Amino acid sequence: MAKRPGVIVVGGGLAGLACATALLESRVDAHVLEAGDAPGGRVRTDSHEGFLLDRGFQVYLTAYPEGRRVLDLKALSLQRFIPGAKVWRGGRLHTLTDPLRHPVTAVSHLFDAPGGLADKLRVLELRQHATSGELGDLWQRPQQESRRFLLDLGFSEEMLEAFFTPFLGGIFLERGLTTSSRMLEFVFRMFATGYAAVPAQGMGAIPEQLAAKLPSGALRMRVSVEEVWGHRVRLPGRELLHADAVVVATDPGNAASLLVGMPAPRMNRVTCLYFAAPEPPVEGPWLVLDGEGRGPVNNVAVMSEVSAAYAPQGQALVSVSVVDDPGGADSLEARVRAQLTEWFGAAVSAWRHLRTYVIPDALPAQPPSALVEPHRPVRLAAGLYVCGDHRENASIDGALASGRRAAEAVLQDLGR
């Protein structure tokens, strides 16, 4: 760096990029140091043999309030999933849709499994509950584990097993429904007031858009930070960089190693397998859920049915997510194929395995204890700050909001 930056942001994930762009918009010089070879942190997309492979199945919820503030959603060309899901249970796929958006389809499957009529009516009650009041008030509501919350609302065990466990399991990356009910209500509100979608060119387009706002030279790749103290950071080779302020925007584990006293949250893991198929096993942009829990697969999505750019012409890209699998990693692909052959038939044998992503630190766990303080402090000391989804809520929106809050704290301390 030719001159001392005003602020050093350690980490080029969504929180760090959001922080840096907010600082630069307020004319505060900021430089981002990213250890990886591209921005994005846990939100990355790889190009592989003409396919776009997100590093783990992820979606963007169009109702995210922070995303609406800081992203050019039109430029991302968001491609939507159908509101609802197809659920494998009892030897066939059942269709569940949002009754307010697809009333004809919803009515035609009203008495279909999983769950009975009462469960489907309670979904409307949950929707009304989650969308009532101001969004900020939601984070102050009494909370409990999601499973207890849903049972107290009157949902049956069958509905929990067949729908909520795989649906929420794919979002929170845990199948015990131990995530805080505040997080459940937030996510359900986002689904009810918007859509699940992906950028046409993959989830990595989100951090790429933020990084493109930075001036030339403000983002340095392949730069590891070994130590942070005061207004200084130390790089390999004992190189020291000084600034007026330092913001640590790394993943939670690295933040805990760089910052004395910073707790490392428990992280949920996920494994994502990608297959190239001659034909899509499901037509349309559907999320497909395992409503039986008898195999490793939690959810499936044919990404090329959501956005054609995800796969070369004439091929389909199938994304398979595995959550909380006790089986061996060596046998995982074979067990996944066996389970999906039951769902989709012998055509699965012709699928070509492209890549498997094992992501042990995919998402901070969000039990009720983690959200007692929903907006955790970003100012650690004068000139030292931290941001990330572990300081807000474990979502893309939480990461973006935390980055903005850190920038606001820096600006306040700098008198700007």
Tell whether residue 333 is among the known ligand binding residues: no
Burial readout 212-228 (b: 16 or more C-beta within 10 A, e: otherwise): eebeeebbeeebebeeb
Region class of 35: left (phi > 0), else alpha (psi between -120 and 50), else beta? alpha
Tell whether residue 34 is among the known ligand binding residues: yes
d(Cα 388, Cα 375) in Å, to the nearest integer?
11
Beta-bridged to residue 180, according to DSSP, are 145
Rounded to 10 deg, the angle between the 181-193 and 165-172 helix axes is: 100
Give Cα 33 to chain centroid, integer Å: 22
Give Cα 362 to chain centroid, integer Å: 8
Q: Are 75 and 83 in contact (CB under 8 A)?
A: no
Quote the tokens at residue 413. Answer: 């301390």
Q: What's the number of CA atoms in the CB half-sphere (13 Å) around residue 207? A: 25
Q: DSSP letters of 69-91?
A: HH--HHHHTEEEPPSEEEEEETT
Which DSSP state fits 40? Answer: B
Please report, in range form, the residues annotated as the binding site.
34-35
Binding site, annotated residues for FAD? 34-35
